[in-house]
């Protein structure tokens, strides 16, 4: 998923990166300018997660209000979000397990152990979410998708591992891990300078810098790019290195082909995306700081898990 094929390398090297070098983002919209407007937050006393700011699941942001002020728990807004979180955690767990196995020298049955790890993580996450929402209609579909994802990742990692070991038979564990995994998994970011959570985790970031990934399931949404813009700003504020390219990785099960479908959306983290994320951040912080309860949306999405809190059960 995080590995780049030849076409993707060419897209980056011959299109996106040259365009960024020719027309880089406005310095005023870089995360390292966190002490100056417009990057400076309205307040640092209400730290927000990136997905809270970017996810446009409720037209009036009432889901954020309910989660923060009424329920006071980190409840997902939709079953699609549950699905995405579970797949995200499966992917991260497999890459971490594979890296750990390299350092421990336990590589003989790696593929089988990774597939089993994916199954175990899926069941753990379903059990955890079932205490918050009804996952019954989603469970079987999610198990099938997770199984395909686990087999895919295990095969890809094994392939890269065999290639590296055959080319460099005397390589040590640390160098082998760097070759097989040229990206940082769950990059830790302190977003507090931007009024964001001090415990942010980007799905993955290319270790050479400049590229950040985010995994999604389901259909493409315009705000998925916005979420990556938030991580880019946070990385720039904390690590003081530029992040100009984003990649949303869509992971789905195709009923037509009966297999996994992975699509990648590469894009420039533009001034517009940066400005919009900062605008939404300030909007949410002002709402929460002023205790301004947002109205129920006129077009309340039927899939929203907060619907019963806004309209009543059965509405």
If you ran DSSP here, which 8-state letter would residue 264 be given?
A: E
pLDDT of residue 312: 67
Q: Are 2 and 96 in contact (CB under 8 A)?
A: no
Distances (CA, A) of 296 to 66, 70, 107, 209: 11, 14, 54, 42
pLDDT of residue 305: 81
CB atoms within 10 A of CB 57: 22
pLDDT of residue 74: 76
Q: Are 304 and 82 in contact (CB under 8 A)?
A: no
Backbone angles phi, psi at 188, to 5 degrees: -75, 135
Distances (CA, A) of 276 to 40, 227, 273, 281: 14, 10, 5, 9
Report all structural domains of the chain as residue ranges with CATH numbers, in order of start: 27-293 (3.90.320)
Q: Are 176 and 165 in contact (CB under 8 A)?
A: yes
* Low pLDDT (below 50) residues in the chain: 313-315
Please, what's the largest Cα pairwise distance for the chain? Answer: 65
Give 97-134 pLDDT, tens digit per residue: 999 999 999 998 999 999 999 999 999 998 888 777 77
3-state secondary structure 219-235: CCCCHHHHHHHHHHHHH
Contacts of 1 (CB under 8 A, 6+ apart): 91, 152, 153, 156, 213, 215, 249, 251, 262
Which pTM was predicted? 0.93
* Burial status of residue 109 (CB atoms within 10 A of its CB: 0-12, 13-18, 19 or more): exposed
pLDDT of residue 101: 96
Give 48-65 pLDDT, tens digit per residue: 999 999 998 888 999 899
């Amino acid at each position: 998923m995080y590995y780049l094929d030849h076409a993707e390398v060419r897209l980056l090297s011959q299109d996106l990166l040259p365009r960024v070098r020719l027309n880089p983002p406005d310095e005023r919209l870089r995360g390292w300018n966190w002490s100056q407007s417009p990057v400076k937050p309205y307040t640092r006393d209400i730290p927000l997660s990136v997905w809270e700011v970017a996810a446009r699941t409720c037209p009036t942001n009432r889901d954020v209000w309910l989660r923060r002020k009424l329920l006071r728990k980190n409840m997902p807004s939709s079953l699609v979000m549950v699905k995405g979180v579970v797949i995200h955690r499966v992917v991260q767990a497999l890459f971490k397990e594979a890296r750990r196995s390299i350092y421990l020298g336990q590589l003989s049955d790696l593929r089988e152990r990774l597939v089993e790890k994916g199954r175990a993580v899926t069941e753990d996450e379903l059990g955890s979410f079932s205490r918050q929402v009804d996952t019954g209609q989603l469970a079987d579909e999610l198990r099938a998708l997770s199984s395909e994802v686990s087999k895919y990742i295990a095969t890809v990692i094994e392939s890269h591992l065999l290639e590296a070991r055959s080319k460099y038979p005397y390589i040590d564990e640390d160098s082998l891990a760097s070759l097989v995994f040229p990206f940082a998994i769950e990059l830790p970011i302190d977003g507090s300078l931007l009024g964001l959570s001090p415990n942010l985790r980007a799905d993955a970031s290319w270790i050479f810098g400049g590229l950040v990934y985010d995994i999604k399931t389901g259909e493409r949404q315009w705000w998925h790019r916005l979420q990556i813009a938030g991580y880019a700003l946070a990385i720039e504020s904390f690590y003081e290195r530029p992040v100009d390219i984003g990649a949303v990785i869509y992971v789905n099960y195709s009923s037509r082909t009966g297999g996994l479908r992975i699509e990648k959306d590469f894009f420039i983290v533009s001034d517009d995306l940066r400005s919009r994320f900062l605008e939404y951040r300030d909007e949410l912080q002002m709402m929460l700081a002023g205790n301004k309860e947002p109205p129920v949306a006129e077009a309340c999405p039927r899939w929203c898990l907060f619907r019963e809190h806004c309209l009543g059960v059965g509405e």
